[in-house]
Amino acid sequence: MAVFDITNACNLRCIYCCRGEYDRNKIKEPSRQEILDTIQQFVKNRSTFVVLQGGEPLIRKDIVPILKSVGEFRKTPGSHLFEDLKELLKLRVKPEEFQLKYKKTLIKNGLPVFYVTTNGMIDSEEIKQALIDGGFSVDISLDSVDPQVNRLTRIGIDFEKVVSTIDHFSDKLPVHLSCTVTEYNVDTLTQMLSFAKEHSCLSVKYSPVIMVGSRKENDEKFRDRYFEQLNRILDRFKNYQDDLFLNVKLYPHYLDCKAGREIYQRLSNTTNIVLEMHECAALHMIKEIYVDTNLDVYGCASMKGTKEAVIGNLHDMSLYEIWHSNTRKEMWKNLQKTHDLLCEYGGCVGAAFCQKIREQGMTNER
């Protein structure tokens, strides 16, 4: 999977965003040609999934011609992905088989699969048509169906506007609701099911906030409540399985407790679910590579902003050259040395590595 920040500008301030703050006077965006050249390299290096994000990608003034040009990279013009995924729901298969059939459906409709991740605050008929023509899937971030809860986590959100965008896109596009689970919204997760069905969304993704920082602190705040909500969701999901599927993320350490093992078993035996066990994807080309607005290349987004974590820049080298460089190989070795920090940083090797760099810098300053 290739993840590409095509702008650092955003119209929201989400409390958990790993992209960091940006100076409104220093908006950084690669040119349209740089974007297309970069995506062409993703395609040449056989990336199966390409995610365009930001910031807020749809905030770019030239986003429509970009989307139109990106869609031309697909081997299969247009797409029947929306209809095919709806047919997949009717098969009612368990997670392992569902994930396999889901991937086959994506491949059938042409590679690479293009995603746009958006907060739903930007909408137009032109954007919608460009997404349809390019065969895009759309991930719309929404943390709760309660407007007040969303305003706690997604600072600046206009809830009614996001709902309007969902309705506008979902009649012709595969729209996936992406819910980042925190202590603020964990008790409202069940309500997402009826909302998703009512607004013709294809799936709901529940993803606990990346465990950066003290795992113990994060767990104490919402882990047990997350399990409770997942049980309630599964109790009700049978009423929604003909209309949507779930993508549920768990952390491996959840299996250390009885409640975690029980919810894992329930999920494993429920049809129309993508069950995702979080694992570090840093510097695994077959899993993830991340490119920021400067065209700096990282192993993952959690490493962004740490200059020692940059493995190359696409202005200077091709993606192929960067991936096969000694810099990337040395970075891989260094990442393996951070395993002693994994408990503290929640299993995120990239975050652990960057924290170690910062600690070494502070030590050297002394």
Per-residue pLDDT tens digits for 255-283 = 888 999 999 999 999 999 999 987 776 65
Domains parsed from the chain with CATH numbers: 2-277 (3.20.20.70), 289-365 (no CATH)
Residue whose structure tokens are 């970075």 = 331
Task: Pick from 191-205, 271-285, 342-356 the range whose average pLDDT is largest.
Answer: 191-205
Averaged over 188-193, what is the pLDDT?
96
Decide: pTM greater than 0.95: no
Beta strands in the chain (DSSP E): 2-5, 13-14, 49-53, 113-118, 137-141, 154-155, 175-181, 203-208, 245-250, 273-277, 289-291, 296-298, 312-313
In eight-state DSSP terms, residue 77 is S
Sign of CA dihedral 97, 241, 172, 53: negative
Cβ partners under 8 Å of residue 86, min gap 6: 202
256 to 211, 220, 261, 266: CA distances (angstroms): 16, 14, 7, 16
pLDDT > 60? residue 365: no
Task: Give the alpha-carbon dihedral of 269, 275, 280, 285, to 10 degrees.
Answer: 120
Residue type, 25: N
Percent of the chain with pLDDT over 70: 87
